[in-house]
Amino acid sequence: MSESLAERASQPVAELALTGDLAHPARLTVRHLRAWPQHRARVSFECATSGVRHHRFEGPLLHEVLSGAAPAFDPVRRKDRLRFLIAVSGTDGHHALLSWAEIDPDFAGAPVLLALSIDSSPLDRWGPQLVLPQDRCGARHVSGVDAIRVDGGYAAWA
Ligand SMILES: Nc1nc2c(c(=O)[nH]1)N[C@H]1C(S)=C(S)[C@@H](COP(=O)(O)O)O[C@H]1N2
Ligand SMILES: [Mo]
């Protein structure tokens, strides 16, 4: 049975904008992101204010989602990817930067997720959460992600 308009209005669906140096920029909901292969991660991280936290997350790999948007590098030239940064922002303005090489399987290959659920609760209304199983500190686990910008303009001499 389809939702009534009133039900839909009371349950807004979060949208994530993928922008920057991409051939296919996109606006994606959590529902769209369920089309990618889903990965699970059990994560423990330390928060500077609330101590050790444990969570279970499930969602696509950030690398797969961003590769689908076709970043503007030559995919066969590995060195061409090294100047790319990934800026991730949450609805509250919290943000974190990653380098492309950090998530690229040819380099550090960190299994970073764009989680669509936390502890079995779906995140459709809040937006995905960035999950970095390799991080000791929780600060880069940006929740309510509403924007990801891929930028290839970084060079020390620019
Ligand atoms: N959007 C957003 N995400 C955020 C933060 C924030 O302030 N805003 N704080 C981070 C910090 S410092 C920590 S430790 C974890 C805490 O996550 P938890 O409360 O779900 O365990 O969220 C991270 N993600
Ligand atoms: Mo934290």
Specify the pLDDT at position 143. Answer: 98
- Around ion ligand 2, which residues have CB less than 5 A away? 47-48, 138
Q: Strand 145-151 to strand 26-29: parallel, antiparallel, or no bridges (unpaired)?
A: unpaired
The protein residue with its alpha carbon nearest to ligand 1, atom 6, reads 94
Specify the pLDDT at position 56. Answer: 98
Specify the pLDDT at position 43. Answer: 98
User: Domain 12-157 sits in which CATH superfamily?
Assistant: Oxidoreductase, molybdopterin-binding domain (3.90.420.10)
Contact 13, 125 (CB under 8 A): yes
- Using CA atoms, how far apart are residues 153 and 73, in angstroms rounded to an integer? 11
- Please give the model's pTM, rounded to 2 decimal places: 0.94
Give the residues across from 137 on adjacent strands: 46
Asked whether 3 lines ligand 1 (CB < 6 A), one says no
The per-residue pLDDT string of the chain (158 residues; one tens digit each, 9 = 90 and over) reads 455 666 555 668 999 999 999 999 999 999 999 999 999 999 999 999 999 999 999 999 999 999 999 999 998 999 999 999 999 999 999 999 999 999 999 999 999 999 999 999 999 999 999 999 999 999 999 999 999 999 999 777 65
Ligand located closest to 53 CA: 1
Tokens standing for residue 120: 């079995």
Tokens standing for residue 115: 């989680």
For ligand 1, pick from 143, 145, 146, 148 the residue to mutate: most ligand atoms within 8 Å of CB.
Answer: 143
